[in-house]
Amino acid sequence: MLDFLTRRPIAHRGLHDDNVLQFENSLSAFSAAANRDFAIELDVQLSGDGTAVVFHDRTLERLTSRAGPVVERTASELRKIRLGSTNEHIPVLAETLECIDGSVPVVIEMKEYGANPAALARAVAIELESYSGQVAVMSFGHSLLSAFAETGSDAPLGLTAEGIGRHSLAEHNKALAIGISFVSYHVKALPNPFVDHVRKELGLPVITWTVRNHEDVEATRLHADQITFEGFDPDLQ
């Protein structure tokens, strides 16, 4: 059952303040989300030594004082890099899951940054083997979805998607053969035939990204099942 995916709003990269004092994908942002009983969405990619690290961007510049691709540094090196001027470091997936410790559901997005899909899928699956909390895994990349399915992990697998053109929707339909259990769709692309098919004919839940205002909340209420939000308090909507 995937009720845990839609029970409560999902904090996009944790409950952060747009990287002023509390940064996205930081342990403090995850703790803040858990304290409010929000589910957590986070991003993972591979370090240079094959560890699943929690960081959204391909490169370091936007969020740190360092530069260059994440994949060119080891996990140990990345953990020494501070997020902005805070005392927060770039966490690895293992310590992130330890921090959350099953308190709220977690949705892990695997980033397709040219790394070996099988290696990233295995790195994530290995960390989930001993995790007893509610967790789901998703990606834009079909190769990553297939690679994760091949690990044999029992974590629910979802497609992250956007677009309303014929080609985009046809590509999304191909992902259904991989065995996905849910979809995370760009809220500005609702409604569309793919999402309607997934929800109404296949009975799969659809969450939306990234919801930032009342208009996006209403679009989700009409055409999907739960929001992935940032920049406002959904409990006040």
pLDDT at 68 over 80: yes
Residue whose tokens read 């099988």: 118
pLDDT band at 206 (very low <50, low <70, confident <90, very high): very high
> Residue 215: in which H helix or E strand, if any?
helix 214-223
Taking the CB of residue 99, how many other CB atoms lie within 10 A of it?
Answer: 16
Note the pLDDT of residue 112. Answer: 86
Residue whose tokens read 């949705």: 107
Distance, in Å, from the CA atom of 33 to the CA atom of 14, rounded to the nearest integer, reads 6
Note the pLDDT of residue 63. Answer: 98
Domain that holds residue 172: 3-236
159 phi/psi in degrees, rounded to 5: -95, 125
Distance, in Å, from the CA atom of 77 to the CA atom of 190, rounded to the nearest integer, reads 41
Mean of pLDDT over the chain: 97
Give 111's DSSP letter: P
3-class state of residue 227 by DSSP: strand
The proportion of the chain whose per-residue pLDDT surpasses 90, expressed as a percent, equals 97
Beta partners for 152?
Answer: none
How many independent structural domains does the chain possess? Answer: 1
Q: What is the CATH number of the domain that holds 23?
A: 3.20.20.190
3-class state of residue 110 by DSSP: strand
Asked whether 185 and 209 are in contact (CB, 8 A), the reply is: yes
